[in-house]
Structure 1
Amino acid sequence: MRNKQRLLSVCGIVFVILVVSILYELMSDPDSYRFYTGIGSGIDVSEDGTELLFSYYQEGSESIYLSDLDGANVQQLTNADGERHRQPKYSGDGESILYLNENEDGIQSIVVANKDGSEPRQVTERDQQVTEAIFSPDGNHIYYSAIPSKDFGVLEGTADNGYDLYSVDLTSNEVTNLTSQDYFTLSALSVSSDGKTIYFSLFEGEKQELFAYNLGDGTVRQPLPQLPELYSPMMAKDQQTLAYTAVAGQSEDSLFEYELFLYDVESDKTKQVTQFGTQVSSPVFFKGTTELAFLEQTNWPDDPSEFQPWVMDLETETLNKINLQLPEEQKELSVIQIVDGMINGVMIASLYVLLFSLLTVYSHFHLGKAFLPTIISGSLTVLLLGSSFVIAAMIDPWLALAIGVLAGALFVCTVLILIFTVVFRFLMKRRLA
């Protein structure tokens, strides 16, 4: 009797911990960057090619920083108190910068400031979710991609509007809608040195492709339709070289590797210029296109992303790592960070398997039905899998996919419980023999 009570008590404790862990995982902030310290995903290079502009996280707070191109003399330009500042860009004359300011609701607007971060002013309203922005060559306008805030983050197929290209006059703050196509995505903005063409990336058909918007007549065309699927395209200001990332192969773990490619418009030839075996993004040409800066995600495909900035000499293809001399991190873990680090999918799955293994022991000794917990777990798996098909057909395919993934995890747990049950029964039979 005493052993029975002890076993039930242990089951109860594990059950409570499991429920609390699940509730914490469901109710906690899903933002993987909330405690992160490291480089953000956007960089730019000064007009004279001597300074690097970038965003940097400190314990989840993202601000704009500046450094020499060798990583020395790091300066913090903005202080994102309760917000996040990201994707900085220089103006053509190098006297101003812009960046995106994300508020607590996740809505991003454009802020323009002096090159030292002083005198910031917001130039777009919160009714738009801005995803990228660049200066016009003369610095009088900003071109940006955005979607109405009310349509940002809603279920696929339920939004009234999509992404479009906009322009804002920095003197009058007048916003002009350049396209009215409600694109599914719109990213990787760059502008020609003559200020006549804006280049951007769209997901068209089944792949990501480069498009060009003519500021004179408002037409959109595909300038290089012969290119394969590409990501993070950046057209040089002279429009003679295109830098982009594309799938270059698969790793031993069957992960796609995204390397940097250069396309020469005149010769119509493409060359792969990196061999990292990870993911390359955010290419930025120096003035004159003799050098190129970019980011490598060193922990690809993990999240949060950890980036390393590089500079490449385009004539010799020599790579130089930028070692940012940031202040040493003095990290003091809070209780919430420790708890957050402990509670994850692996821990929840382990608790689930432990609970059902304990129930297997209880069922074997006191109910004579050792396989009952395995049957219950298997039934839950089938129920979840079946509901995912119903939800996919009637409600939301993305929600169905999430439930399907959960059913897959539950199936693995059920197999582990079954293995435990078989081994446990075998050992009990040998003990009685």
Structure 2
Amino acid sequence: MTVRGSRVLLGIVAPVLFLSACDSLGGRGDVIHPIADSLTAPPGEATALSRTRGPASAASAGKIRAFRERFERRETIGRIGDLDGGEETTFALLWDAALTEAGEVLILDRIQTVVRVFTVEGEYLYTLGGQGEGPGELQVPEAVLISPAGDLIVVDQAQLIHRFTKQEGRFEYQDRTRFQAVIYDACLAGEDLVVHAMRREREPEILYRVPTERSPELGFAVPYRHSDPLVYGTVSRGQIACSSLGSVAVIAYRERNAIEGYRVADGRGVWHARIEDFWATEIREEVSGQRRVRRGIFDNDALHFLERIAGGSSAPVFVQHRFYLSRDLRDQTGHYTLETYALDPETGEGEFWGDSLPSMLAVTDEFVVFSWEAPYPRVEVARIPK
């Protein structure tokens, strides 16, 4: 189970090593930040997502139930990736995927910094990108998106937004623009490109509608009031998905049980959801030595950490978390289960779909793209019947 789940490994292993350094300072003067008291949407005002209860409203329950009935009849039509194959089907770090109306699946490999294009049946077509700073080259690619016009948008953490257009049946580099902040994720709400970025000292918002000729830049979503940039950065990072249903941008946070929906047209928060029975890390500011943030990974018996958010368009939004037992983290066994919730993007109400689904790279009304990391990185494309 890979893709952005590999962000999970980067997000957990490094703090484990970092905690040892913090603990060596003796912990004197630690300040435990009251995370719940600093949230702009108090937990008591949020929709509860439960493993045992479904959506409260009949409308949300009906939409999710109807999609689930179709989803459970899905049929695998393509398998991509092998251990001993050629360069075209050997992946290093699966990170994101997108689907075109022409029946193509575009797979982003973060380490190889390429986008490989296949048919949904698994036939290799061609490769885009490659490491570099020249036209069409990528540096730290974060997301691949298909615009309503059919263009390919590759969002790069190096503050770049690359655009490729279809020419004679294949995507070719067209242009790129610069965004004035590091980009952590992106999604499309219709024609509006929304990026997850943090300008921190200058602006508290973490979501931005990228300016176009028809609409100005709009910053929105301020989930946390605390002014300390170390704490703010720790609790405000996440992943996003956009839905055409109500033109909503949905953000799920890496280390909190929060999921929030914002209207892209004006940035207004439309719902806040919290997952029940969620094991989160404790955030402490270490002030007895070099000032830093300490995450109490081993303070509890277990830990949830965001794997990915996928979906949108006319499908539900899916949020997946890895659930680790602390002893498995401590012993570095690599064992975890993957818990999946399906949410109505218009209301934030959702349903627990269990812990048996693989990691989802992409979900549309017609297809789902699954990925695995063991025993080698690979992808499956399944068709969802009408």
Calculate the TM-score normalised by the size of structure 1.
0.46
How has the CA–CA distance of structure 1 residues 244 and 91 changed in structure 2, closer, same or farther, with 3 Å as cutoff? same
1:164 to 160, 164, 174: 160
Deviation at 1:84, TM superposition (A): 1.9
CA distance, structure 1, for counterparts of residue 141 and residue 208 of structure 2: 17
CA distance, structure 2, for counterparts of residue 296 and residue 70 of structure 1: 24
CA distance, structure 2, for counterparts of residue 270 and residue 179 of structure 1: 31
- Greater strand share, 1 or 2? 2
2:101 to 93, 100, 104: 93
2:101 match: secondary structure:
coil
How has the CA–CA distance of structure 1 residues 137 and 297 changed in structure 2, closer, same or farther, with 3 Å as cutoff? same
Q: Which has the higher contact order (CA 8 A, sep 6+)?
A: 2
The 5 A counterparts of 1:72-87 are 76-79=79-82, 81=85, 83-84=91-92, 86-87=94-95
The 5 A counterparts of 1:354-365 are none
Deviation at 1:310, TM superposition (A): 1.2
Deviation at 1:204, TM superposition (A): 1.2
Contact 2:252 2:319 in 1 (8 A): no
CA distance, structure 2, for counterparts of residue 287 and residue 180 of structure 1: 25
1:179 aligns with 2:199: no
The 5 A counterparts of 1:319-398 are 319-321=352-354, 323-324=356-357
1:312 aligns with 2:342: yes
CA distance, structure 2, for counterparts of residue 112 and residue 295 of structure 1: 25
Alignment correspondent of 1:271: 272
Alignment correspondent of 2:199: 204
Alignment correspondent of 2:323: 298
CA distance, structure 2, for counterparts of residue 41 and residue 233 of structure 1: 12
AA matched with 1:259: N
Contact 2:189 2:247 in 1 (8 A): no
- Greater helix share, 1 or 2? 1
Alignment correspondent of 1:35: none
Deviation at 1:186, TM superposition (A): 0.8
Deviation at 1:205, TM superposition (A): 1.5
How has the CA–CA distance of structure 1 residues 230 and 240 changed in structure 2, closer, same or farther, with 3 Å as cutoff? farther
Q: What whole-Å deviation, never above 9, does each CA across 1:322-345 have from its counterpart, x for those lacking one?
A: 52489xx998xxxxxxxxxxxxxx
AA matched with 1:312: A
Contact 2:206 2:222 in 1 (8 A): no
Deviation at 1:214, TM superposition (A): 2.8
- The higher radius of gyration belongs to 1
CA distance, structure 2, for counterparts of residue 239 and residue 178 of structure 1: 27
1:188 to 182, 185, 189: 185
2:124 match: secondary structure:
coil
CA distance, structure 2, for counterparts of residue 330 and residue 288 of structure 1: 31
CA distance, structure 2, for counterparts of residue 99 and residue 231 of structure 1: 21
Kindly, what percent of the aligned residue pairs are identical?
Answer: 7
CA distance, structure 1, for counterparts of residue 131 and residue 193 of structure 2: 24
CA distance, structure 1, for counterparts of residue 67 and residue 103 of structure 2: 14
Contact 1:91 1:137 in 2 (8 A): no
Calculate the TM-score normalised by the size of structure 2.
0.51
How has the CA–CA distance of structure 1 residues 219 and 173 changed in structure 2, closer, same or farther, with 3 Å as cutoff? farther
Gaps in structure 1 of 5+ consecutive residues: 1-37, 53-67, 148-161, 248-256, 332-433
Deviation at 1:200, TM superposition (A): 0.8
Q: What is the root-mean-square deviation in Å for CA atoms of aligned residues? A: 4.1
1:262 to 254, 260, 276: 260
Q: What whole-Å deviation, never above 9, does each CA across 1:31-72 have from its counterpart, x for those lacking one?
A: xxxxxxx444369xxxx96799xxxxxxxxxxxxxxx65898
The 5 A counterparts of 1:125-164 are 125-127=130-132, 128-138=138-148, 140-146=150-156, 162-164=158-160
CA distance, structure 2, for counterparts of residue 330 and residue 205 of structure 1: 37
CA distance, structure 2, for counterparts of residue 312 and residue 287 of structure 1: 14
CA distance, structure 2, for counterparts of residue 330 and residue 264 of structure 1: 35
Alignment correspondent of 2:314: 288
Gaps in structure 2 of 5+ consecutive residues: 7-65, 133-137, 225-235, 280-303, 359-369, 376-386
Alignment correspondent of 1:12: none
Deviation at 1:320, TM superposition (A): 1.0
AA matched with 1:112: V
CA distance, structure 2, for counterparts of residue 330 and residue 88 of structure 1: 17
Deviation at 1:209, TM superposition (A): 0.6
CA distance, structure 2, for counterparts of residue 117 and residue 108 of structure 1: 20
Alignment correspondent of 1:245: 252
How has the CA–CA distance of structure 1 residues 201 and 264 changed in structure 2, closer, same or farther, with 3 Å as cutoff? closer
Which segment is superposed worse, 128-137 or 305-314?
305-314
CA distance, structure 2, for counterparts of residue 180 and residue 144 of structure 1: 13
Deviation at 1:164, TM superposition (A): 1.5
